[in-house]
Amino acid sequence: MLTLNKFEKAYDKVQEIVLPTKLIKSDYFSEQTGNFVYLKPENMQLTGAYKIRGAYYKISTLNEEEKSKGLITASAGNHAQGVALAAKRQGVKATIVMPTTTPLLKVNRTKDLGAKVVLCGDVYDEACEHALKLAQEKGFTFVHPFDDLAVATGQGTIAMDIFKELPTVDYILVPIGGGGLATGVSTLAKLLNPKIKVIGVEPAGAACMKASLEAGKVVSCEHVNTIADGTAVQTPGKKIFPYIQNNIDDIITVEDEELIPCFLDLLENHKMLAENSGLLTIAALKHLKAEGKKVVPIISGGNMDVITIASLVQHGLIIRDRIFTVSVFLPDKPGELTRVSKVISQAQGNIVKLEHNQFVSINRNSAVELTITMEAFGTEHKNKIIKALQDTGYKPEIRSSKSVF
């Protein structure tokens, strides 16, 4: 059983290693949602994610024989770094099996923390199968990333943090991959206040926990397809599932496309970087059927490689109509390019890229296709620029902006 006494012991233990991640009152998200939103920034944790809590506490509960065998685990990245650092601090050797799709940043950081990294499989479940095989062959002590009550107890210390700062919290939003974080947070939250609502948030492309709750038993997703790699799990934990059934009030599923604007919102309004799995609870704020409540979304991690960041920025700007592309046809004569540029400039558009093609037609009156990619302040400004072009006699057609960068 997960008891209050165990959570209190875990809380005291993890204070040896965790950084304080104080709640951040978000005026922006509060205004957007009609609630009082307080961010729990576990992306600012020592390893860039909450996972250090469960890993450190779990290893502290092992006996000397279990530690001497060396540890092994499977992880998409954040648990890997948590185990690697916790093992290093406690003088234990660790091997981490990671999916081949794991971002390079997470792989390199895990190695830098002293762990041996083995890449295997396309998703977490395949990596876990290989880790279990190695544990059996070489006698390693396996540390499960989520289906372990000691690990879940360590993760649950986040709820203690929240209650210490905001005892009157009404809702906690928690990301769900395999369910370890949700188990710990929801169980402790209900022990501290049975009336609190704890909502799990899953990517729609890996909603194995939602499917399991609907089935009344643990089931697997046939396919996993999500940019939220930290929660790309096919099968939730069996040991922790009863706690989820008892303590999670609801599950919200989020489409990948919803995470992209959330990335920009968090970056621009709070100067905070969160990975896709950490953005799940931010995206869920708009789905929450509540008003005037104190809501704490847990931002579970912030480990993201630069290529992914660049892609999210690009797509986010396009989705927000802050980057858009149009094409217009011009007469093939001097001065026309200047004329178009002047119209855009007067409408306060900023040209990013031009493609000038003279060979699309033999009609010299409309022989040149000009493809223009430009910056705008948003949809209203974009429409203003397009109208200015139309009023000048052009017929702008919207084009895809995905290749702009």
For the CA atoms of the chain, what is the radius of gyration? 25
* Residue reference for tokens 């809380």: 11
Helix (H) or strand (E) holding 96: strand 94-98
Give me the catalytic one of 26, 212, 300, 401: 300
Per-residue burial over 185-208, b if 16 or more Cβ lie within 10 Å, else e, is bbbbbbebeeebbbbbbbbbbbbb
CA angle 79, 83, 86 (to 5 degrees): 135
Instruction: Choose among 377, 378, 332: nearest CA to 357.
Output: 332
Instruction: Give 106-128 pLDDT, tens digit per residue.
Output: 888 899 999 999 999 987 778 98
Instruction: Give 184-218 pLDDT, tens digit per residue.
Output: 999 999 999 999 999 999 999 999 999 999 999 99
pLDDT at 132: 94
Instruction: Give 157-170 pLDDT, tens digit per residue.
Output: 999 999 999 999 99
402 falls in which pLDDT band (50, 70, 90)? low
Amino acid sitting at position 222: E
Query: Do 108 and 101 form a contact (C-beta atoms < 8 A)?
Result: no
Q: Is 190 a catalytic residue?
A: no
The edge-to-edge listing of strands for the beta sheet with 368-375 is: 350-357, 368-375, 323-330, 397-399
Query: Do 43 and 275 form a contact (C-beta atoms < 8 A)?
Result: yes
pLDDT at 267: 94
244 by DSSP, 3-state: which? Answer: helix
Residue 404, pLDDT above cutoff 60: no
Model-wide pTM > 0.85: yes
In order of start, what are the domains of the chain with their CATH numbers? 4-49+150-316 (3.40.50.1100), 52-148 (3.40.50.1100), 321-399 (3.30.70.260)
Instruction: Give 339-366 pLDDT, tens digit per residue.
Output: 999 999 999 999 999 888 876 665 655 5
**What is the mean predicted confidence (pLDDT) over 171-178?**
96
CA angle 71, 77, 81 (to 5 degrees): 50
Q: Is 401 a catalytic residue?
A: no
**What is the mean predicted confidence (pLDDT) over 125-141?**
93
Give me the catalytic one of 6, 40, 51, 294: 51
User: φ, ψ for residue 257 (rounded to 5)?
Assistant: -60, -25
401 falls in which pLDDT band (50, 70, 90)? low
* Pairwise CA distance, residues 187 & 244, whole Å: 8
pLDDT at 362: 58
pLDDT at 43: 96
